[in-house]
């Protein structure tokens, strides 16, 4: 059992929790909780740490314990687990998982895709919620600019509720070039923008579609929005000017889902 917070493995986990450059360097990210552990593909799991009292409570015949036995694990004291955890109320199990690798070029080959392109989103909860809702709405992939919040941020990972394992995603270096590539592949791009003249339900999203969503405070950059096939907007009543980025994206994704049913 690991009982010292000075243990090198403990220090490394803390570094992965707190520093994006450490996660990038080692191509891993931490996940916490039984649900996230149970849903993680076994071939992605590198390390598992479990708090001693949780291990005692687990059903030895249950799926979680059986998976622990297959992938291997280390037991840590309660004090050590609190140090390793990123949450105020640790759930007692933490896995270090390999970062999946997806290619924009390969994802572009998906037939009749439904994509979301996020430009410079900064809220990890918004990004995680979009990934999770994207899975529910049948999104083919999520693309992000390099200035978007790190998708492996622990808060983002928690917000995905496991969808991080199943929704493909990629970073695009130049969003205007990416939009041009989508157009060449026959994918229409729609900029969610306050300057849009037509509501989103005026468009058909039955063929290849990509929604462009901008930064929470500033929206899409003008050059990005102008590169899109069309502007669209979401109806607003009262004095509300815009919606939370994750909610706006969810409305668009589910309208596309509705049309494609």
CATH number at residue 39: 3.30.1330.30
Q: What is the DSSP string of 171-198?
A: EES-HHHHHHHHHHTT-EEEEE-TT-SS
Same domain, residue pair 121 and 154: yes
Report DSSP state, residue 31.
E
Same domain, residue pair 36 and 165: no
Q: Are strands 209-213 and 188-192 parallel, antiparallel or unpaired?
A: parallel
Question: Do the domain assignments include residue 197?
Answer: yes
Domain count, the chain: 2
Same domain, residue pair 13 and 114: no
259 HSE (CA, 13 A, CB side): 17
Same domain, residue pair 124 and 247: yes
Same domain, residue pair 111 and 240: yes
Position 243 pLDDT exceeds 90: no
Report DSSP state, residue 42.
G
Same domain, residue pair 79 and 116: no
Same domain, residue pair 82 and 151: no
pLDDT in tens, 145-173: 999 999 999 999 999 999 999 999 999 99
- Kindly give, in sequence order, each residue whose CB lies less than 8 Å from that of residue 96, ignoring residues fewer than 6 positions away: 13, 16, 28, 29, 30, 45, 46, 47, 48
Same domain, residue pair 94 and 108: no
Q: What pLDDT is attached to residue 171?
A: 97
Same domain, residue pair 91 and 108: no
Same domain, residue pair 237 and 108: yes
Q: What pLDDT is attached to residue 194?
A: 79
Pair of tokens at residue 49: 């740490």
Same domain, residue pair 40 and 168: no
Question: Do the domain assignments include residue 60?
Answer: yes
Q: Which domain holds residue 240?
A: 104-260
As a whole number of angstroms, the distance between CA 240 and CA 242 comes to: 6
- In terms of Cα–Cα distance, which of 145, 140, 143 is closest to 205? 140
Question: Do the domain assignments include residue 24?
Answer: yes
pLDDT in tens, 175-228: 999 999 999 999 999 999 878 889 999 999 999 999 999 999 899 999 999 999
Question: Do the domain assignments include residue 2?
Answer: no
Last residue of some domain: 71, 98, 125? 98
Last residue of some domain: 46, 68, 98? 98
pLDDT in tens, 119-150: 999 999 999 999 999 999 999 999 999 999 99
Question: Do the domain assignments include residue 1?
Answer: no
pLDDT in tens, 2-60: 999 999 999 999 999 999 999 999 999 999 999 999 999 999 999 999 999 999 999 99
Same domain, residue pair 56 and 116: no
Question: Do the domain assignments include residue 132?
Answer: yes
Q: What pLDDT is attached to residue 99?
A: 98
Average pLDDT over residues 88-93: 95
Position 242 pLDDT exceeds 90: no
Question: Do the domain assignments include residue 3?
Answer: no
Q: Read off the pTM.
A: 0.94
Last residue of some domain: 76, 98, 120? 98
């Amino acid at each position: 059992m690991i009982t010292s917070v000075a243990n090198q493995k403990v220090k490394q986990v803390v570094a992965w929790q707190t520093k994006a450059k450490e996660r990038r360097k080692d191509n891993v990210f931490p996940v916490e909780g039984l649900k996230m552990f149970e849903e993680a593909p076994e071939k992605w799991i590198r390390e598992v740490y479990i708090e001693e009292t949780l291990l005692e409570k687990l059903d030895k015949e249950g799926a979680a314990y059986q998976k622990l036995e297959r992938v291997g694990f280390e037991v840590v004291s309660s004090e050590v687990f609190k140090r390793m955890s990123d949450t105020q109320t640790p759930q007692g199990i933490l896995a270090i998982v390999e970062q999946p690798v997806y290619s924009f070029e390969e994802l572009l080959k998906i037939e009749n895709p439904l994509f979301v392109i996020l430009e410079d989103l900064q809220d990890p909860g918004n990004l995680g919620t979009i990934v999770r809702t994207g899975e529910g709405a049948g999104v083919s992939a999520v693309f992000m600019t390099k200035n978007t919040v790190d998708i492996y941020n622990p808060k983002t990972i928690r917000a995905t509720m496991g969808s991080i394992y199943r929704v493909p995603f990629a970073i695009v270096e130049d969003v205007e070039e990416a939009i041009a590539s989508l157009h060449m592949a026959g994918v229409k791009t729609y900029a969610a923008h306050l300057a849009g003249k037509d509501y989103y339900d005026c468009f058909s999203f039955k063929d290849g579609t990509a929604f462009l969503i901008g930064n929470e405070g500033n929206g899409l950059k003008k050059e990005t929005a102008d590169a899109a096939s069309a502007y669209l907007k979401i109806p607003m009543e009262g004095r509300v000017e815009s919606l939370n980025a994750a909610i706006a994206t969810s409305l668009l994704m589910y309208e596309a889902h509705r049309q494609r049913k």
